[in-house]
Amino acid sequence: MALSRRTVLLSLALSLAAVPAWSASFLAQLDPDKDGTVDLAEAKAAAGKLFDLLDRDKDGTLDARELRGRMSKGEFAAANPDKDGTLDKAEYLAVVETRFRAANPDNDGTVDAREFATPAGKKLLKLLK
Ligand SMILES: [Ca+2]
Ligand SMILES: [Ca+2]
Ligand SMILES: [Ca+2]
Ligand SMILES: [Ca+2]
């Protein structure tokens, strides 16, 4: 009896831990001020961290290989107006800003959970984590 009750409590604890995955792990990284939404400054901060993480050779730029599918060829070309074959951080953050605006159709300055679930929101997310 005690065992099954313990099992129930354990699975309850596990499901409780799983439910706030959005707010706890997902938003915890993207939403340091914990207001439940991601503003442009937060998006850029997260994108900057991801940029450094993806820049394996630490040359300060991302090439298509380092981006590993986060952008299509066409998107990469559009994001790289100087055509040097790589994205520097400014170019990367410019794409983040464009995608942020696309993901925020209500223009309230933030992307919330509902907006992140849209195709535009998912595209933005690819550059944030
Ligand atoms: Ca926030
Ligand atoms: Ca690099
Ligand atoms: Ca470039
Ligand atoms: Ca919004």
Q: What are 33-87's pLDDT values in tens digits?
A: 999 999 999 999 999 999 999 999 999 999 999 999 899 999 999 999 999 999 9
Distance 33 CA to ligand 3 centre (A): 32
Output DSSP code: residue 124.
H
**What residue segments make up the domains of the chain, in order of their start?**
21-126
Distance 84 CA to ligand 1 centre (A): 34
pLDDT band at 3 (very low <50, low <70, confident <90, very high): low
Question: In CATH, which of 1.10.238, 1.20.120, 3.90.320, 1.10.3470 is domain 21-126?
Answer: 1.10.238
Q: Which phi and psi (to 5°) does residue 52 adopt? A: -60, -35
Distance 119 CA to ligand 3 centre (A): 26
Distance 48 CA to ligand 1 centre (A): 16
pLDDT band at 11 (very low <50, low <70, confident <90, very high): low
Instruction: Decide if pLDDT at 30 tops 70.
Output: yes
Distance 88 CA to ligand 2 centre (A): 9
Residue count of the chain:
129
Instruction: Decide if pLDDT at 20 tops 60.
Output: no
3-state secondary structure of 112: strand
